[in-house]
Amino acid sequence: MVTVSAGARLHFGFQNLSLAHDRLYGGVGVGLAEPRVAVTAVLADAVSVDAAADAMPAVGGDELADLEAVRRYADRAVDALDVPGAHLTVERALPRHVGLGSGTQLALATYAAVARANDVEPTPRQHAPALGRGGRSGIGVATFEAGGFVVDAGHPTARFTTDEPARGEWETPPVVARHALPDDWRFVLAIPNADTGRSGSAETESMRSVVETADGSVADAVAGTLTRTLLPAAATDDRQRFAEGMADLGRLNGAWYADEQGGVFRPPVGEIVDALSRSDAVGGVGQSSWGPAVYALTSEPHVDDALDAAGRALDTANVDGDVLATAPADDGARLE
């Protein structure tokens, strides 16, 4: 028996969505210690799947969909690894399609559990494309591997144009920078009970529309924020400057998505971001991926004030939801 667990990830945005530049996408994000997904596997002659009681989270939760996804990922893992099968139990799941990378972390945890149950060493970067992951951003794969603040290289624009290739016909974007973040930094999350973010064919169609019309000058501004603010701040443990870079990069990305999601931030995220940004306890407020998860950065001594501010921000937007604080991940997936 083996259990594989992995933390969620935040996606701050992409480096480029314009066809005018040589490389497309190029994710920027960070791995989180919590919340986590956990999958247990036992050697078997075929694939079977179940879930522990209360494994599925309330926000964006759909137990049947999660189990179907695990079975699909397990079937793909069995094919990629050329092994007989495994019986899998979902012990913990992430909220689905709220901006925390639930799909990639569930896919890779399932894959790694199948591999280890069959006494095979998993190579998630190699097999992520066969699982249907890493087709745009490589942040989820990179944080599964080693945690930290990560920047990936994206994909060749000429290869991807407005559509990603068929599943398995791409390589996971390589990591161009990874930095461990200080263990006293805390990311505060506000996850409203709102419509989940885009996924599947809806996400693909939205990304196609964005890429077809993306302003290349925004990528130049993103590059400046990344190289002059975020990366130096990560290397020097400068929390204030890192927060400023997070916020700038998120708003620049929002300019690309404004037509697709109804503004720089999707409703009701904009109200939550504005309200939380007024708190002195946090910095770097933004929307992770398609949302609706909102993130902010604080330090361990200010966590209580930051959580209070996140709760008030949800109230200001007149939505219920969950708030939590988590450290940045200092490692990748854990195998027991």
Dist CA 94 CA 313 (whole Å)? 22
Last residue of a domain, one of 147, 177, 207: 177
Q: Which domain covers residue 155, as residue numbers?
A: 2-177
In a domain, 242, yes or no: yes
CA 175, distance to chain mean position in Å, is 15
Q: Are residues 78 and 151 in the same domain?
A: yes
Q: Quickly state the pLDDT bin for 200 (edges 50, 70, 90).
A: confident
Q: Are residues 157 and 236 in the same domain?
A: no
Q: Are residues 156 and 195 in the same domain?
A: no
Q: Is the pLDDT of residue 58 over 70?
A: no
For the chain, the domain total comes to 2
Least reliable range by pLDDT among 5-9, 69-73, 144-148, 246-250: 69-73
Q: Are residues 146 and 243 in the same domain?
A: no
**Average pLDDT of span 276-281:** 98
Q: Is the pLDDT of residue 92 over 80?
A: yes
CATH number of the domain to which 134 belongs: 3.30.230.10
**Average pLDDT of span 200-229:** 94
Q: Are residues 212 and 92 in the same domain?
A: no
Dist CA 170 CA 4 (whole Å)? 25
CA distances from 296 to 87, 100, 239, 325 (A): 38, 14, 11, 9
Contacts of 70 (CB under 8 A, 6+ apart): 39, 49, 88, 90, 106, 110
Q: Is the pLDDT of residue 59 over 70?
A: no
Q: Quickly state the pLDDT bin for 64 (edges 50, 70, 90).
A: low
Tokens of 165: 């290739």
Q: Are residues 88 and 146 in the same domain?
A: yes
In a domain, 335, yes or no: no
Instruction: Judge residue 201's burial from the number of C-beta atoms within 10 Å of its C-beta, 0-12 exposed, 13-18 middle, 19 or more buried.
Output: exposed
What separation, in Å, do the N-terminal and C-terminal C-alpha atoms of the chain show?
Answer: 8
In a domain, 232, yes or no: yes
Last residue of a domain, one of 177, 207, 237: 177
CA distances from 138 to 151, 258, 312 (A): 8, 23, 33
Q: Are residues 89 and 215 in the same domain?
A: no
Q: Are residues 116 and 249 in the same domain?
A: no
DSSP alpha helix (H) spans, the chain:
63-81, 102-117, 124-131, 139-146, 157-160, 200-213, 216-225, 231-236, 239-261, 269-277, 303-316
Percent of the chain scoring above 90 in pLDDT:
87
pLDDT at 104: 97
Peptide bond before 174: cis, by omega within 30 degrees of 0? Answer: no
Q: Quickly state the pLDDT bin for 61 (edges 50, 70, 90).
A: low
Contacts of 202 (CB under 8 A, 6+ apart): none
Q: Are residues 229 and 136 in the same domain?
A: no
CATH number of the domain to which 199 belongs: 3.30.70.890
Q: Per-residue pLDDT tens for 174-198?
A: 999 999 999 999 999 999 999 887 8
Last residue of a domain, one of 146, 177, 208: 177
How, if at all, do strands 175-179 and 155-156 pair? unpaired
Q: Are residues 227 and 91 in the same domain?
A: no
- Tracing tokens 């701040």 back to the chain, one arrives at 233
